[in-house]
Amino acid sequence: MPKRSRSSQRWLKEHFDDPYVQRAQQEGYRGRAVYKLQEIDERDRLLKPGMRVVDLGAAPGGWTQYAARKIGRKGVLIATDILPMDPVPGAEIVTGDFREDAVLDAILALVGDERADLVLSDMAPNLTGTGAVDLPRSIHLCELALDLATRILNPGGAFLVKLFQGEGSDAYLAEVRRRFGSVKVRKPKASRPRSREVYVLAREPRDV
Residues 6+ apart with CB under 8 A from 37: 62, 63, 66, 67, 120, 122, 160
122 annotated to bind ligand: yes
Q: How many angstroms separate the CA atoms of 203 and 199, rounded? A: 13
Of 13, 74, 162, 184, which residue is the catalytic one? 162
Q: How many angstroms separate the CA atoms of 175 and 168, rounded? A: 11
11 annotated to bind ligand: no
Task: Determine whether 162 is an active site residue.
Answer: yes
96 annotated to bind ligand: no
50 annotated to bind ligand: no
Q: Per the annotation, where are the binding residues?
A: 61, 63, 81, 97, 122
Q: Per the annotation, where are the binding residues for S-adenosyl-L-methionine?
A: 61, 63, 81, 97, 122
Catalytic residue IDs: 162
